[in-house]
Each structure stands twice: as C-alpha cells, then as structure tokens.
Amino acid sequence: MKDIAKRFAQNPLLSPSDLEASTEGLEITCLLNPGVFQYQGKTWLIVRVAERPAQKENVISFPILTVTGGIQIIEIPKDAPELKATDARVINYKGVDYLTTLSHLRLVCSDDGVHFYQPEDYPSLVGEGILQAFGVEDCRVTLLENKYWLTFTAVSGNGVGVGLRTTTDWKNFQSHGMMLPPHNKDCAIFEEKINGRYYALHRPSSVDIGGNYIWLAESPDGIHWGNHKCILKTREDAWDSARIGAGAAPIKTEKGWLEIYHGANHQHQYCLGAFLLDLNDPSIVIARTEVPIMVPSAAYELSGFFGNVVFTNGHTVGSDGDTITLYYGASDEFVCGAHFSINEIFSLLKFDHA
C-alpha cells in the first residue's frame, strides 16, 4: 500500500501525560483527533481529551455527565453477566450502550506547529445537556464569514449526532444545539459558500439498507440543513470497506474541492484517503484515491488505546499552496503530525473511480 505521509520526527506531539486531567478523580486515557485552526498568528488544536477514573482490577468504571453538568461515575463488575465489553471504546450493560471514557475538547496552541501548550484563560468545551451526556468528540473547525464554526460528535444514551457551536474569540461560544440527529458524525462545513449556499459533509449510518457513507448537506444560513445527498460509499474488500467519514473542511484547489477522509475495514484498521469534488457542484465526486494515502505503520499508530488507527479532522495548508500539515489521532491515544503534498495526492487520484 502506498503511504505518502511524511510523519513528524517529533511524533507523538501530545500524549495523555502531557496535559492535566479536567477533574479530580479522573485521569486522561487518550488525547486524539484534533480540529485545527489559525488564530492570532498561532496554530491551534482543539484536542479531544478522553478521561475516566483509574481502573480497578475487577471493575470497569467511567464517567458520564449529569443534567446539571456534574460528573457521575458508573461502576460495573467485569464479571457481570449482563456486560458485553469486547471493544475498548464502547460497552453494553443490561442492553444499554456506554462509552468507556468521557471526552471534552481542549484548546492548545503553538508558534511552530510542533510544540503545543495550553494557553491560560481559554475554556475547554464540555458536553452540555442531555444530548451530550457521554461527551463531545472529534471537532472540525471551519472559518467562514469571520466566525469559527465547530462541528463535533455529540454522544449520549439517545445516540450519536452532530453538535454545532460558533465563536469569534474562543472565549465566548454560541450553541446551536444538534445540527444533525443520530446516527451521524464526521461533519465538516465548507469554508466558503457555493452559489450562495452553505455546504457540509457528514456521515449518517444506516443500520439495515445502506451503510456508513459520506453525504453532502446544504443550508441557507449554516444552521438549518437539508437537501442531503449520498456522495461517497464504502468499497467491498478494500481498505475503506466498513466505514468512511470526512476529515476537516475540504481544501479549495484549481481542480476541485480536495477532501482527505478516513476509511475503516472490517478489522477496524483506519487509513486515510482522498477525493475531489466539483468546485461548482460539490455533490459531484470527480476523483478518488484507490489506495490509501496513509496507513497505520509507526509504533504509536499500531498500538495504543485502540490500535491500528490513523484518523484526521484537521490540517493547515502552507503558503506554497501545496504543503498540507495534517494533525491526526494515532491509536486513539496520541496526537501526531504529518506533511502531505497536494500534488502528490493528486497523482494518486483516479478519475474513473468506483
């Protein structure tokens, strides 16, 4: 398989021990899947911080948020007959699904794009209300009309949907509630309007007929979304056979909107690929990579909280118009960086794609 990522020598850039837990009694289990943006001359990451209590030998314990914003710890004996715990990320107890960690979104910034620190006086974004009781995850950041638009996964016992908040100063946030209801995630708003309309990529999951495909939605105001179209599907027996989902907002190029996406196979290996959308009508997929452009291969990508994973939802594009600095979650545990060349990605795009 072709892997054209130039990984940072400094990887992992951030590990769980690099930040302080948000709450006494919790520890950081994973740092992953950062959204990326430029603000006040710096590169910022909005990192997903997944926490839980230190694990005792015979018990699984994890936090959930209460309606008043407090934290409740749920403890389940590992030998409970009603417990199904085969996936490190999600368990089922007495017929109800829970996440094994609770995620919030933390801001860190950097002058060089490699060394990140947590600035003072910037709040974390935490789950709010009953639709975010299991946390907020995997935030995409879009700068559009002088406003930052944050689309993130909002998880609760009601399902997994897409939450939307906006900000101009990263200190005050306006919540727009749930933008796309369950089951939906991997939502990225385009950084420009097209023919007067807002556009977003998203990933609903259809349980019976259909699958985990990438869709396009449009909106007159960025708040109300409709006219959904399914634009990209999984491919049988390929690296992206089980699930696909958009990364960050697509990059506008002369040839079209270039999107880097993740694909997982049935063994839960997560790789990255790319596709190209028509500039004027983004529901038209012009080209797609057949092979992945990045495959888990470094030690920190192969083993961790959930190994064999590279997952991205944020990048910056250099002033040369070719260099992408991509930030990604490795093994659902570390934040890493890699460079890509847009021209090199173009050379792997197939215009007669499936």
DSSP code for 22 = S
Q: Is 5 in the site for ligand MAN (CB under 6 A)?
A: no
Site for ligand MAN in 94-123 (CB under 6 A): 99
> Interacting stretch for ligand MAN, rule CB under 6 A, among 153-161, 197-205, 207-215, 267-275?
153-161
Taking CB atoms, the residue at the shortest distance from ligand MAN is 89
Distance of closest approach, residue 219 Cβ to ligand MAN, in angstroms: 23
Cα–Cα distance for residue pair 84/2, rounded to 1 Å: 37
Distance of closest approach, residue 36 Cβ to ligand MAN, in angstroms: 19
Torsion, Cα 352 206 60 70, to 10 degrees, reads: 110
Biggest CA–CA distance in the chain, Å, is: 58
Q: Is 84 in the site for ligand MAN (CB under 6 A)?
A: no
Q: Is 264 in the site for ligand MAN (CB under 6 A)?
A: no
Nearer to ligand MAN, 134 or 149 (CB): 134
Of the candidates 315, 328, 313, which has an alpha carbon nearest to the alpha carbon of residue 162? 313
Contact residue for ligand MAN among 29, 151, 153, 289 (CB under 6 A): 153
Contact residue for ligand MAN among 2, 56, 84, 89 (CB under 6 A): 89
Nearer to ligand MAN, 6 or 268 (CB): 268
Distance of closest approach, residue 98 Cβ to ligand MAN, in angstroms: 10
Q: Is 160 in the site for ligand MAN (CB under 6 A)?
A: yes
DSSP code for 183 = S
Q: Sign (positive/negative) of CA torsion 118, 121, 125, 128? A: positive
Cα–Cα distance for residue pair 101/123, rounded to 1 Å: 20
Distance of closest approach, residue 20 Cβ to ligand MAN, in angstroms: 21
Cα–Cα distance for residue pair 255/203, rounded to 1 Å: 24
Cα–Cα distance for residue pair 132/161, rounded to 1 Å: 9
Cα–Cα distance for residue pair 33/247, rounded to 1 Å: 10
Q: Is 137 in the site for ligand MAN (CB under 6 A)?
A: yes
Nearer to ligand MAN, 302 or 348 (CB): 302
Positions touching ligand MAN (CB under 6 A) are 89-90, 99, 137, 153, 155, 160, 185
